[in-house]
């Protein structure tokens, strides 16, 4: 069974926050949802897990017992409880106990590098450790659908690698994983990638499909090649973008996922403004 949403439109506070969005979550795969601030990522994930009702469209999700959700910013963690107590609390709510719980807790804490921190207050953990604990809480009951809202935002690069390993392990165990991310290198490693802007889907498919959908022409130089609002810094270089095919003498470069998402967003803005 594949999970996901079909053609959902969501209206919040009188504004349309998602428009006709379709997302597929396939067991054994990671689906990444990317887009700028306010694109609608959190709303999409919350719709998928049944916390927001769409005004039209359909949601295909397992029962709450088979779903796991990690809200953004490790807000699913109780900071005044220890790591073990957090796990015991969620386990009680999930009806887990005894050797099954002990084995699962040992396995998850080891995989997350938290075994030695089991008795520490969650509020005293580093940001990355707290995110990893939040992940363990979301996946404790082996959900069939795991939904993660920006699991690695604000986490140091080493913890990001750890989190990605945990996410890949979950998918390898045949869980359907949907995650929003601000890190486009993570989106590039997902099986599928959905690019949102202003509540609309700009591109969707495998990372290769999304890269192939990059509109316009991208160039690299030491300074903007056109209007400042169509240029951005990447390391020591400046990327410049314009709609349409390359102009005479231009040397276009292939976009990576970050360039591609920016180009898609600029193109949508131009189309919207036209
Ligand atoms: N309860 C609400 N009432 C009205 N508007 C809302 C509500 N919740 C979210 N929005 C609006 O919906 C849009 C999408 O918000 P959402 O949080 O889904 O975006 P996001 O892509 O997750 O962004 P961010 O990464 O900044 O959290 C925003 O413009 C936001 O202001």
Return the domain boundaries, the chain.
3-206, 209-273
How large is the average pLDDT for residues 130-145? 94
- 106-132 average pLDDT score: 93
User: In the prediction, which pLDDT does 226 show?
Assistant: 86
Give the residue among 25, 58, 46, 70 at the shortest CA–CA distance from 194: 25
Give the confidence band of 162 by pLDDT, cuts at 50, 70, 90.
confident
What is the CA angle 272-22-28, rounded to 5?
135
Bridge-based pairing state of the strands 217-221 and 30-34 = unpaired
Average pLDDT of the residues in 158-172: 90
The pTM assigned to this predicted structure is 0.92
3-206 CATH fold: Rossmann fold (3.40.50)
Is the pLDDT score of 273 beyond 80? no
Q: What is the mean pLDDT of residues 42-52?
A: 95
CB 145 within 8 A of CB 175: yes
What is the share, in percent, of the chain residues with pLDDT greater than 90?
A: 78
At residue 156, φ and ψ (nearest 5 deg) are -70, 160
Question: What pLDDT does 146 receive?
Answer: 97
Ligand 1 centroid distance, CA of 41 (Å): 8
* Mean pLDDT estimate for the chain: 92
Decide whether any atom of ligand 1 lies within 6 Å of the 38 Cβ. Answer: yes
Q: What is the residue whose two structure tokens read 């439109």? A: 9
Tell me how far apart the alpha carbons of residues 261 and 214 are, in angstroms, rounded to a whole number.
8
Task: Give every strand in the sheet of 67-70, ordered side by side.
Answer: 67-70, 145-149, 176-180, 30-34, 192-197, 200-205
Cα–Cα distance list, 247 to 34, 44, 217, 241, 260 (Å):
30, 38, 9, 11, 19
Hey, whose CA ends up nearest to atom 31 of ligand 1?
38
Pairing state between β 231-234 and 237-242 = antiparallel
Cα(88) to centroid(ligand 1), Å? 32
pLDDT in tens, 86-95: 999 999 999 9
Q: How far is the CA of 16 from the centre of ligand 1 (A)?
A: 10
What's the pLDDT score for residue 1? 66
208 lines ligand 1 (CB under 6 A): no
State if residue 229 touches ligand 1 by the CB under 6 angstroms criterion.
Answer: no
Question: Measuring CA to CA, how many Å separate 223 from each of 41, 219, 248?
Answer: 33, 11, 19
198 within ligand 1 shell (Cβ under 6 A): no
Chain centroid to CA 21: how far? 16
139-151: average pLDDT: 95
Going by pLDDT thresholds of 50, 70 and 90, the confidence category of residue 274 is low
Closest C-alpha to ligand 1, atom 6: 12
Q: How far is the CA of 96 from the centre of ligand 1 (A)?
A: 34
Residue 181 CB–ligand 1 contact under 6 Å: no
Residues 2, 212: Cα–Cα separation, whole Å: 25
pLDDT at 202: 96
- The one-character DSSP state at 183 is -
User: pLDDT at position 9, please?
Assistant: 97
Q: Is residue 20 within 8 Å of 200, Cβ to Cβ?
A: yes
Describe the crossing of helices 127-139 and 98-111 by its angle, rounded to 10 degrees.
140
From the alpha carbon of 37, which atom of ligand 1 is closest? Answer: 26
Q: 146-158: per-residue pLDDT in tens?
A: 999 999 887 888 8
The number of the ligand 1 atom at minimal distance from the alpha carbon of 44 is: 18
- Say how far residue 64 (Cα) sits from the centre of its chain: 20
**Cβ(15) to ligand 1 under 6 A?**
yes
């Amino acid at each position: 069974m594949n999970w996901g949403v079909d053609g959902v439109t969501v209206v919040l506070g009188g504004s349309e926050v998602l428009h006709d969005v379709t997302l597929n979550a396939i067991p054994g795969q990671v689906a990444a949802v990317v887009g700028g601030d306010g694109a609608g990522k959190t709303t999409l994930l919350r719709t998928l897990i049944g916390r927001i009702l769409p005004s039209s469209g359909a949601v295909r999700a397992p029962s709450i017992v088979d779903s796991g959700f990690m809200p953004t910013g490790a807000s699913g963690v109780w900071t005044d409880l220890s790591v073990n107590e957090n796990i015991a609390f969620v386990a009680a709510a999930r009806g887990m106990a005894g050797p099954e719980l002990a084995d699962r807790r040992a396995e998850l804490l080891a995989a997350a590098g938290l075994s030695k921190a089991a008795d520490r207050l969650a509020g005293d953990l580093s940001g990355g450790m707290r995110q990893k604990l939040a992940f363990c809480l979301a996946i404790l009951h082996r959900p069939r659908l795991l939904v993660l809202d920006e699991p690695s935002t604000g986490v140091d690069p080493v913890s990001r690698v750890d989190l990605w390993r945990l996410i890949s392990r979950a998918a390898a165990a045949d869980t359907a994983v949907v995650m929003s991310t601000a890190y486009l290198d993570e989106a590039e490693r997902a099986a599928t990638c959905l690019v949102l802007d202003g509540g609309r889907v700009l591109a969707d498919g495998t990372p290769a499909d999304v890269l192939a959908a990059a509109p316009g022409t991208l160039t690299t130089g030491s300074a903007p090649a056109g209007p400042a609002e169509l240029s951005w810094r990447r390391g020591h270089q400046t990327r410049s973008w314009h709609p349409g095919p390359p102009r005479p003498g231009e040397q276009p470069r292939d976009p990576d996922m970050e360039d591609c998402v920016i180009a898609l967003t600029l193109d949508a803005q131009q189309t919207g403004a036209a």
